[in-house]
Amino acid sequence: MQREDVVRSLFDDGWNRGDFGPTADWLGDYRVHVGGRTMELDVPRTDALLARWRIGFPDLRFDVHRIVDAGDEIAVHLTLTGTHLGEWNGHAATGNRVSVPHAMFFRFDGDRLTDIWEVVDTGAMDAQLGA
């Protein structure tokens, strides 16, 4: 599997279908950098993170619009969508539909994902949740 295929599978199989198995060999311990925080993840912790997202947004989906492959680094333009039907980050369910633009940057070392930098419009998400 090529790196671009790994990234696409992370969204299509992992986040959208809940199956990180196809990319498990590429996911050892890796770091996600978002909003000034860094999370240390692996497959079990990624599964747990997805489960928390699915509580708030049972129909969570990431739609990939563009992937730019620069060798050891890959940039992705995508949109997160979902319906807020459960508690999320202290927000009680609103029933609101969200559509939030994202950019993510993936770094690989050989055949391992090492880092993801996520840029998300949290203001847009909060506004769509009525915060």
Mean pLDDT of 38-56: 94
pLDDT band at 90 (very low <50, low <70, confident <90, very high): confident
Residue 131 has pLDDT above 80, yes or no: no
pLDDT for the residue numbered 1: 77
For residue range 9-25, list pLDDT tens digits in order.
999 999 999 999 999 99
Residue 113 has pLDDT above 90, yes or no: yes
For tokens 């079990």, name the residue: 44
DSSP output for 29-98: SEEEEETTEEEEE-HHHHHHHHHHHHHH-TT-EEEEEEEEEETTEEEEEEEEEEE--S-BTTBPP---EE
**Cβ–Cβ < 8 Å for 128, 120:** no
Mean pLDDT of 70-83: 96
**Cβ–Cβ < 8 Å for 34, 120:** yes
Residues in the chain, total: 131
- The percent of residues in the chain predicted with pLDDT above 70, rounded, is 100
Set out the domains of the chain in order of their start, with CATH numbers: 3-78+101-120 (3.10.450.50)
> Cα torsion for 83, 85, 91, 97, to the nearest 10°?
20
For residue range 21-42, list pLDDT tens digits in order.
999 999 989 999 998 999 999 9
The residues with which 69 forms a beta bridge, in sequence order, are 74
Indicate the average pLDDT of the chain: 94
DSSP output for 70-82: ETTEEEEEEEEEE
DSSP letter (8 states) at residue 16: T
